[in-house]
């Protein structure tokens, strides 16, 4: 991997099943891997490729947008980068600490309070307890939910989840930030604050991959846009 690159996806294939079943064993998964062919043969009847021979390179300090219809693999790409899921074929290289905002409330424990979840989620994002405590007040202030911070998060609305999750993530020391359309949940004033924070991350040289259905927003906030599920423009 080039020292200039933060993320590389090389010839990545990823399949999903329409059913809720999974491989029974690692041995079965290995056998099916070697039986499969690069043209998609070897898929079970209820399986499909969401990514086929996909390549992506993101340089350090670059902001990339992923744009396209539902079902074209945008969120899957983020999950692959974040190691939430793994490719069936191909190679993924990530050079840097990752802060993923892929699903609202992911990494939060419902029975813990917002304050306790700041500690837990911050640790997941690689922050030390000392760093978290130092930034705790700033995280709470940015989230705008101070009056609810000592309430169990299972009582939070989706908007409150978003506020806290976003605030923790942008206060982390990550080099790579992944944003997946979650800003559509927040109210207008908070969305504006989030967009300003994303602009600031870009200005200080953080690497970002952003998924959105808002093409104009992506044009303003990224260096380039990868279109998925569209014919290539001539």
Q: Return the structure tokens found at 191.
A: 């969305």
In a domain, 233, yes or no: no
CATH label of the domain that carries residue 195: 3.40.50.300
In a domain, 2, yes or no: no
In a domain, 130, yes or no: yes
In a domain, 210, yes or no: yes
Number of structural domains the chain divides into = 1
In a domain, 82, yes or no: no
- Mapped onto helix, strand or coil, the DSSP state of residue 75 is helix
* β-pairing verdict for 207-211 and 176-180: parallel
Contact assessment for residue 78 and residue 180, using Cβ atoms and an 8 Å cutoff: yes
In a domain, 114, yes or no: yes
In a domain, 133, yes or no: yes
Q: What per-residue string of b and e applies to 118-155 under the rule 16 or more CB within 10 Å gives b? A: bbebbebbebeeebbeebbeebbebbbbeebbeeebee
The pTM is what? Answer: 0.83
Boundaries of domain holding 214 = 100-225
Per-residue pLDDT 10s for the chain (234 aa) are 667 999 999 999 999 887 755 544 555 556 555 655 444 455 788 889 999 999 999 999 999 999 999 889 999 999 999 999 999 999 999 999 999 988 766 778 999 999 999 999 999 888 999 999 999 999 999 999 999 999 999 999 988 988 999 999 999 999 999 998 766 666 788 888 888 999 999 999 999 999 988 899 899 999 999 999 854 433
Non-local (6+) Cβ contacts of 193 within 8 A are 142
Contact assessment for residue 95 and residue 4, using Cβ atoms and an 8 Å cutoff: no
């Amino acid at each position: 991997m080039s020292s200039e690159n933060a993320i590389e996806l090389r010839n990545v294939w990823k399949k999903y099943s329409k059913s809720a079943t999974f491989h029974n064993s690692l041995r079965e998964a290995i056998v099916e891997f070697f039986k499969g062919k690069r043209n998609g043969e070897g898929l079970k009847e209820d399986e499909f490729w969401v990514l086929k021979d996909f390549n992506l390179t993101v340089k350090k300090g670059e902001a990339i947008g992923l744009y396209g219809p539902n079902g074209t693999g945008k969120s899957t790409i983020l999950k692959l980068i974040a190691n939430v899921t793994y490719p069936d074929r191909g190679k993924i290289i990530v050079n840097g600490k990752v802060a993923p905002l892929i699903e609202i409330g992911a990494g939060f424990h419902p029975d813990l309070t917002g304050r306790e979840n700041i500690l837990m989620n911050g640790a997941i994002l690689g922050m030390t307890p000392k760093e978290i405590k130092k930034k705790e007040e700033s995280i709470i202030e940015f989230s705008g939910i101070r009056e609810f911070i000592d309430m169990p998060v299972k009582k939070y609305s989706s908007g409150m989840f978003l506020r806290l999750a976003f605030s923790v993530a942008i206060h982390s020391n990550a080099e790579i930030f992944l944003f997946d359309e979650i800003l559509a949940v927040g109210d207008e004033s908070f969305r504006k604050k989030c967009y300003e924070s994303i602009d600031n991350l870009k200005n200080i040289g953080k690497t970002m991959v952003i998924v959105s259905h808002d093409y104009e927003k992506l044009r303003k906030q990224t260096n380039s846009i990868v279109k998925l599920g569209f014919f290539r423009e001539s």
